[in-house]
Amino acid sequence: MFCITLVTMLTYLDRLNLGIAGKYIQDELALSTQTMGWIFSAFVVGYALFQVPGGWAGDRYGAKNVLTIAILLWSLFTALTGLAPDLAFGRWFGVVTAFLVVRFMVGVGEAANSPNAAKIVSNWMGAEHRGIGSSFTTLGIGLGGAITPPLIAWVMLHFQWRSSFYLSGLLGLFVVLLWEGYVTNSPEEHTNVNSQELKLIQEGRQPRPKAGGGAGPPWHKMISSVSVWGLVLGYFCQGYPIYFFHTWFFIYLIRVRHLSIGQGGFWGAAPYIAITVLAPLGGLFSDFAVRKIGKRAGRRISACCGMFASGILLWIGSAMSSSTGAILLLAAAAGFNMFATATFWATCIDLTQEYTGSLSGLMNTFGNLGGWLSPVLTAYIATRISWNSALDCASIVSIVSGLLFLLVKADRSLDPQAPSTREPARSRAVPAL
């Protein structure tokens, strides 16, 4: 779980660095706000399109090796972002095209991370700890997001914006060495897991085929499931507001709230500090609610609490005149968004333990289609109407996300020959793994 958190921190360093460097890139290359919106979205297009292939590959060949290749791929293209204005095809087709291609490929590499992290959580965490297990990924989002703004701002102030991308790519090489040297696909493959630990993990976990075996994902069953549609459409609406923080938030602080670059680097970390605190709490709350009121109601109330709170805070924060108060409320909105996100990912495991990678890849495809729309539509609303209106739109979408999750029946498994309901034991004195 530590390694999942570390890899996710790296993904957010590599995706958020462009949002921090965007002001310098705009000034140096004379790019408009809407052009930057399209460059931000290029990452999300690659990220969204390759979620399902990345998740399927993890189900088929094992999550560990798929992620090793993915880390190397996105680290290479992160470093190439710094060279984008000088690349040959950039000279032939234009600087904007060079940025679009390079950021698209960063998205292609990072697409494998979340579904394969969910696959490893499914393999490693006991049935009663899927919420907290899923929150290790969102914890990485919070920590990576909290570190990135001050780190990248400091590098840009003391060196130049290109150096921040070279540094980010280099860090990927160190992370991949740790990942490849320590992580295994499942606890059965790890030499440090003893028989008692293995028995505890396996409780409530149905047998699954080894990587490379078994039939393909039951796509027809997934697509015809109301629960799956509630899950993926809800995650589409979850992705729209959170991508404001991944793309425009730093520039919003500089251009709308009139902070300096140094202040922007400091306050730009606030949403991710909130995520660091609230994401694990969301996972714990989700597991607690499942034990107390059942899987279906427990997952629903956890997702709704997070998304409703996030939407309300976005609405209030966008209208607040005090910059400090507004930033704190908007940061809390990001935190509650990720409070709910742990439940979305835990529900992927609830619905199918055997094909978690494929279903979570499908869900994250929709989430990142919402993320692709976010920077473009935010720029359009902000330039045509106002930034307040752009954030109000994100607020409404957050509320809709929670409402859509009410369609999800987390206690109805999609796995072949699995029981239609699978409620965890209400009381069992076992330690959390």
Which string of DSSP letters, residue by residue, matches 253-307?
HHHTS---HHHHHHHTTHHHHHHHHHHHHHHHHHHHHHHHH-HHHHHHHHHHHHH
In the block, residue with structure tokens 């990576």? 144
Q: Which of 350, 352, 376, 359 is nearest to 51 (CA)?
A: 359
Task: Evaluate whether 103 touches 81 at the Cβ level (below 8 Å).
Answer: yes
Task: Evaluate whether 331 touches 241 at the Cβ level (below 8 Å).
Answer: no
| 3-state SS assignment for residue 81 | helix
d(CA 392, CA 33): 20
Task: Evaluate whether 99 touches 42 at the Cβ level (below 8 Å).
Answer: yes
Q: Answer whether residue 380 is part of any domain.
A: yes
Q: Answer whether residue 431 is part of any domain.
A: no
Residue 115 per-residue DSSP state:
H
pLDDT at 215: 59
- Residue 416 is encoded by which pair of tokens? 């072949």
Find the domain containing 330 and state its range.
Answer: 2-184+217-405
Q: Answer whether residue 432 is part of any domain.
A: no
When divided into structural domains, the chain yields a total of 1
Nearby residues of 173 by Cβ (< 8 Å), 6 or more positions away: 75
Task: Evaluate whether 398 touches 310 at the Cβ level (below 8 Å).
Answer: yes
d(CA 419, CA 411): 9
Q: What is the CATH number of the domain that holds 357?
A: 1.20.1250.20
| 3-state SS assignment for residue 344 | helix
User: What is the tens place of the pLDDT at every residue in 144-156?
Assistant: 877 777 777 788 7
User: What is the tens place of the pLDDT at every residue in 317-341?
Assistant: 888 888 888 889 999 999 999 999 9
Task: Evaluate whether 6 touches 251 at the Cβ level (below 8 Å).
Answer: no
d(CA 67, CA 55): 10
- Residue 269 is encoded by which pair of tokens? 């970390």
List average pLDDT for each run of 10 residues in the chain, which is 433 residues long. 88 79 75 77 83 83 88 89 70 76 89 86 77 80 78 78 84 89 82 82 60 63 89 93 82 80 76 89 91 90 94 90 87 93 89 83 87 83 86 93 93 68 43 39
pLDDT at 91: 59
Q: Answer whether residue 417 is part of any domain.
A: no
Between vectors from CA 109 to CA 104 and to CA 110, what angle results, nearest 5°? Answer: 95
Q: Answer whether residue 209 is part of any domain.
A: no
d(CA 143, CA 137): 10
d(CA 260, CA 114): 34
pLDDT at 212: 46
**Burial bucket for residue 376 (CB in 10 Å: 0-12, 13-18, 19+):** middle
**Torsion sign, CA atoms 78, 170, 66, 418:** negative
Q: Answer whether residue 295 is part of any domain.
A: yes
Q: Answer whether residue 87 is part of any domain.
A: yes
> What number of helices (H) and strands (E) belong to the chain?
19, 0
User: What is the tens place of the pLDDT at every residue in 102-133?
Assistant: 889 998 999 888 888 888 887 887 667 778 78
d(CA 46, CA 78): 14
Please state the pTM of the whole predicted model: 0.73
pLDDT at 305: 94
Q: Answer whether residue 259 is part of any domain.
A: yes
